[in-house]
Amino acid sequence: MDKIKDRIKNALYICCIYAEVILCTVLAGMLCSASHIIIFRNAATVTVGIMIFVYCYSLSDDKIAEGILPHITFLISFGVSNALVAFTSIMDIGTIWMAAVAVAAIRAGIGHAVSCHALLLLQYIMLSADAQKNIMMIVFYAVTGILMALVMSEVKSHKEFIYASVIFIALTMVMVIVLSGFDLKEARKNKEFTLKCLAGDSVMLFISWVTYCIKTRLAAPEKKSGYKRNQKRDKKIILQLLEPDNMLLKRMGQYSESLYSHSVRVGRLSYKAAYHMGCDCLLAKAGGLYHEAGRIYEDRKYPEACKILITEYNFPPGLSDIVLQNAGSEKPGSCEAVIVMISDSIISTDEYFKRTEKRAQISDEKLIKSVFSKRIAKGNFSESGMSKEQIEKLMDFYINNAFKENL
């Protein structure tokens, strides 16, 4: 049912484009008192142009189903542009008739903008009295429209929009000088035309700004909802990985009992530390459980094995980062990654001293402070985003809780 509705909306959208172009072509003929034969000829010619434009539109990713408001914005600007082109049959109005090109560039990119400009330029060539007398005027508008499409299609931020506006106005002035044959005196004589072009540029840039704001506002909720969907999906995957009968945990236990028990200890400690610091407890626990799970791929180098593990078990981005940082980087990029790194270091150091029968010779506090001192000396916390106070708070937690039996 939704697909049928989308097809109906697309059909109506395309019908509106045909209607706008043909009606404005007829309007132009009426304004300049053209004969019925000429009006029919012009209408038939632009119909072919519309067919090409619609074909280019169908090849793009820009579909009516993505939102009605952006399409209404384009239809309004396209209708106004067509009406303005109609008026070029009796008077010169500068660049303002290319307003729809600016909207198309912002809304759908350079491909849609160039095809839109080609259709409007075709109408201009047929309908404008100036175009029929001055071939350079056609070249001027052709190049100016393409420049508009190029410059505005690259806008990705408010700052870039300002730069693009300045560049486009400067390029328009350059094209006016070129049109005058690089004769500044001739350019001064055409001051009225220059002012019309600058006024037209200002209107187009304003319309572009409105379009950009609409596009940005429509995109924000989509990104937000997509982010929420990803969060739910990632949490679901992590919960599955934390289940006691998870296949990967069983595989780790079969590969090495010591690796399994070490990972379980790191996971538990990481969970408690993350809870104390207000971080993502589940992510920290999963990071602790699987920080060395790549070891199960004995025939691969460890960094490569970690990548295979991430792909095979569909690890979400946060967990992937923790595993990869443990494999090749000592500078964690998140609170959870720091916690897994420190928990792993503390548990590993404890296990080492127990194996060498030296554990009784070193206190819990000394062991933990030693781990932190080495990590601070190496600059391991520089990319974590954690403050000095947070690191001290984390260290205090480990001193008071790392070796409690209830962990």
- How do the pLDDT tens digits run along the chain, 407 residues long? 455 766 777 788 788 888 888 898 888 888 888 888 888 888 888 888 888 877 766 655 444 334 566 677 778 888 888 888 888 888 888 888 888 888 888 877 787 788 888 888 888 888 887 776 778 888 888 888 888 888 888 777 778 888 888 888 888 888 888 877 777 777 677 788 888 888 888 888 888 888 888 777 766 554 444 444 577 888 888 999 998 888 998 999 999 999 999 999 999 999 999 999 999 999 999 999 999 999 998 888 888 888 899 988 889 988 998 988 877 766 888 899 999 999 999 999 999 999 988 888 889 999 999 999 998 888 888 888 888 899 999 999 999 998 875 44
Q: Considering the entire predicted model, what is its pTM?
A: 0.52
**pLDDT score, position 270:** 94
Cβ proximity of 246 and 257 under 8 Å: no
Nearest to 24 by CA among 95, 93, 81: 81
Please tell me the distance from the alpha carbon of residue 10 to that of residue 72, in angstroms, as a whole number. Answer: 12
Count of all residues that appear for the chain in the document: 407
Q: Return the pLDDT at 205.
A: 86
Q: Mind listing the domains of the chain with CATH numbers?
A: 2-217 (1.10.1760), 233-401 (1.10.3210)
Q: What Å distances lie between residue 50 and 20, 53, 64, CA to CA?
A: 10, 5, 17
Between the alpha carbon of residue 145 and those of residues 70, 142, 222, the distances in Å are 21, 5, 31
Question: Nearest 5°: phi and psi at 395?
Answer: -65, -40
Distance between CA atoms of 324 and 319, rounded to whole angstroms?
9
Whole-number pLDDT of residue 219 = 60
Is the Cα dihedral 133, 139, 142, 148 positive or negative?
Answer: negative
Give dist(CA 339, CA 45) in Å, integer: 70
- Residue the block writes with tokens 């109408």: 123
Identify whether the C-beta of residue 168 lies closer than 8 Å to the C-beta of residue 147. yes
Name the phi and psi angles at 48, rounded to 5: -65, -40
Closest CA to 165 of 213, 195, 207, 193: 207
Are 346 and 371 in contact by the 8 Å Cβ rule? The answer is yes
For 358, the 3-state DSSP assignment is coil
